[in-house]
Each structure stands twice: as C-alpha cells, then as structure tokens.
C-alpha cells in the first residue's frame, strides 16, 4: 500500500447519522473515505455488536442493549464454528450487522487514492464483553486466545472485501481498551498484552492500523508490535503524546503514518475554535517533536488529519459532526498551502 501523508484527511468510523446515504456522502468528502458505523440507526451498528456476529456463545440483547457471553454455550458451539471457519462467509459483515457496508461498496470509489474500513480490536472487545459471572472474557485464557483469532479473521476478510473494490485499502482497529490495560487491577499484564497484540497484528492482512481516543502508554503502540498507522486524539492527548519523542521519531523513521485527530466534535468545543487556531495548535504539537530532533518535513510527509473523536451525544444530531468535517478539510487546506504539500 502506498501510504502518502501530506495532511490527507480521514476520520473514525462512527457517525451519529440515521440516514445511511447521508453518512456515506459525508465520509466521501474526505481524502480517505470509510464505510460508516451508525449505532443510532440500529444497535447492530454498535462496534462491539458488529464484530460479535458468529462469535460462539454470544447473546445480543437488543432491548437492554447488552452483549454477553455464556461460557457453556461458547464451548458447545465451538465444534460447529470449527466446521464453518474455513469459509470466509462466517467472518463477513451481514446487512443486519452493517447496513452501511454494502451501500459504501456500491459507490464509485475509483477516484480515491485510499479507502478504509474498521473493526473493534480484541483488547477492547475482550474487556467489554463479560460472561455469566460478569467476568470480562479477556481474563479467560481459552476465550482470549479464541477472540484474538476470531477478530483477526474478521479484520482480514473485511480487508479482502475492500481490496476487491479498491487496490489501496486497509482496516484499522478501534482500541479504546488499550487506555486501561496498563492498570494493575486489570489482571492482564501489559507485557502479555503487548505480545498477544503484536502476534494478532502479524496475523491480519493488509497494513496494520490502530485508532484510540484515550491516553495509553504510547510506547506500547509506537514500538515493538509492527504497527504502521496510528490514529490519536491530538486535540485532547497531543501534549502527552509528543513527550514520547524518541518513540515517535523511530515510528516515523520506519515509514509509518500518524493520523492527528485535531478537530473537536463536541458542539461546545468546536464553537470555541477556528480553522486558524486549530492549525496553530497542531503546529505547536509538531514543534514539540521538532525541538526533540524530528524533522518537520518528515512529520508532514507522514501525517494524516482527522477529527479528534467520534461523537454521538450532541443535541444537534449530526450538524456539529458535519461542521467538524468541513473544518477539518479547511485545516488541511491551510497546512497544505503553507507547507507546499502537493503530490
């Protein structure tokens, strides 16, 4: 994959829309579009529910909006799963679990350099989903090993589907759970988690990308696991992230991409900002890295820009999010003009 930076725009997968085509239209305004996840359209569009399709032992309660796993049922369904797991169909997103995927794939995407998909990652899924004793499944060795294998299958099959549509594509993993994996209370040591996650990334097909809005131990993601694309909330966490200057420089030296989430999507926050202020804020973060030895030219060459976070809670529905996308495009245009970022 040819991963050009130069402040190309993309965004996280979750949108607040209930109109599928309108959500896709918005995604297509960016340089690197994606198929949107629409939890306000259907609970099945929730990123945890979406990846749970065909996972043994899983029960999706649409009334109470809960996902649980029954351990006895998990082991009871493993044999049937094993018989079907050689067929990609078991890992594909069905229309029930992602109404937007097929609609996105039906669009003409030939004019884009890159397209993108997404999936919840195994750490976050394993921490979120609990068994009948309210124990997160990531703490159960057999089930944890299976969930890494299962989500690797889901991610790789989605990549293949996207690659049939467009030769330049990837699927990134949403991993908010990585922010809390480092607490001693989790019972899943970070050293074990790093090995498991690195092994998982090595199994998936296509470029390896991770997005998270939180503030983890960034060295976990920047070194030693084979990550190629890292998407961060630069608006909220950028000051801390840039303190990891040695790791960031090594990450960029390896030819990787950082997606800087610089435009807020909360109504109150976006209302306090302007295109010029956001561009200056991002340049300030880059200046922190330049002062510690990373070249600005390299940062720009390997930079994508994005909204800071997904947002489903604004009172104005999707209006603020759409305004944030417009602001993002303008910020990117300002920086491209200023630094002569023309391909």
- Residue 186: which pLDDT band, with cuts at 50, 70 and 90? low
Question: Do 32 and 9 form a contact (C-beta atoms < 8 A)?
Answer: yes
Question: Do 118 and 34 form a contact (C-beta atoms < 8 A)?
Answer: yes
- Whether residue 1 lies inside any domain: the answer is no
Question: Do 176 and 123 form a contact (C-beta atoms < 8 A)?
Answer: no
- Whether residue 114 lies inside any domain: the answer is yes
Query: For residue range 282-314, what is the model confidence (pLDDT) as tens digits?
Result: 999 999 999 999 999 999 999 999 999 999 999
> Which residues, in sequence order, are CB contacts of 185 under 8 Å at separation 6+?
none
Sign of CA dihedral 306, 310, 313, 319: positive
- Whether residue 2 lies inside any domain: the answer is no
- Whether residue 154 lies inside any domain: the answer is yes
Q: What is the pLDDT of residue 85?
A: 87
What range does the domain containing 266 cover?
Answer: 8-339
Q: What is the pLDDT of residue 2?
A: 75
DSSP one-letter string for 82-115: HHHTTSGGGGSPPTTT-HHHHHHHTS--TT-S-E
- Report the CATH number that the domain containing residue 232 is assigned in CATH: 3.20.20.210
- Whether residue 216 lies inside any domain: the answer is yes
- Whether residue 108 lies inside any domain: the answer is yes
Q: What is the pLDDT of residue 183?
A: 55
- Whether residue 172 lies inside any domain: the answer is yes
Count structural domains, the chain: 1
Query: For residue range 89-131, what is the model confidence (pLDDT) as tens digits?
Result: 999 999 999 999 999 999 999 999 999 999 999 999 999 999 9
- Whether residue 3 lies inside any domain: the answer is no
What pTM was estimated for this model as a whole? 0.95
What distance in Å separates the CA atoms of residue 136 and residue 127, rounded to the nearest whole number?
5
Element spanning 54, H or E: none
């Amino acid at each position: 994959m040819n991963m050009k930076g130069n402040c190309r725009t993309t965004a996280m997968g979750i949108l607040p829309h209930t109109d599928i085509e309108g959500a896709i239209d918005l995604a297509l305004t960016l340089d690197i579009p994606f198929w949107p996840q629409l939890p306000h359209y259907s609970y099945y569009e929730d990123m945890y529910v979406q990846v749970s399709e065909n996972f043994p032992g899983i029960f999706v309660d649409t009334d109470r909006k809960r996902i649980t796993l029954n351990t006895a049922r998990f082991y009871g369904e493993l044999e049937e799963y094993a018989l079907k797991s050689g067929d990609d169909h078991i890992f594909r997103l069905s229309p029930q679990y992602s109404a937007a995927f097929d609609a996105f794939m039906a669009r003409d995407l030939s004019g884009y350099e890159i397209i993108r998909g997404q999936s919840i990652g195994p750490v976050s899924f394993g921490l979120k989903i609990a068994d009948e004793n309210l124990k997160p499944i990531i703490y159960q060795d057999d089930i944890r090993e299976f969930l890494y294998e299962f989500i690797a299958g889901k991610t790789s099959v989605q990549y293949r589907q996207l690659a049939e549509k467009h030769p330049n594509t990837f699927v990134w993993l949403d991993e908010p759970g990585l922010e809390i994996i480092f607490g001693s209370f989790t019972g899943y040591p970070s050293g074990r988690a790093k090995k498991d996650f690195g092994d998982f990334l090595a199994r998936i097909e296509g470029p390896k990308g991770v997005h998270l809005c939180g503030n983890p131990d960034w060295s976990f993601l920047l070194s030693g696991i084979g990550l190629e694309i890292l998407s961060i909330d630069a608006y909220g966490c950028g000051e801390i992230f840039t303190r990891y200057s040695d790791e960031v420089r090594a990450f960029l030296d390896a030819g990787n991409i950082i997606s800087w989430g610089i435009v807020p999507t909360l109504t109150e926050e976006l209302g306090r900002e302007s295109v010029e202020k956001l561009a200056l804020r991002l340049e300030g973060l880059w200046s922190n890295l330049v002062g510690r030895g990373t070249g600005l030219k390299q940062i720009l060459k390997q930079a994508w820009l994005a909204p800071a976070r997904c947002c489903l809670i604004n009172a104005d529905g999707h209006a603020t999010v759409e305004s944030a996308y417009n602001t993002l495009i303008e910020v990117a245009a300002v920086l491209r003009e200023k630094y002569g970022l023309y391909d």
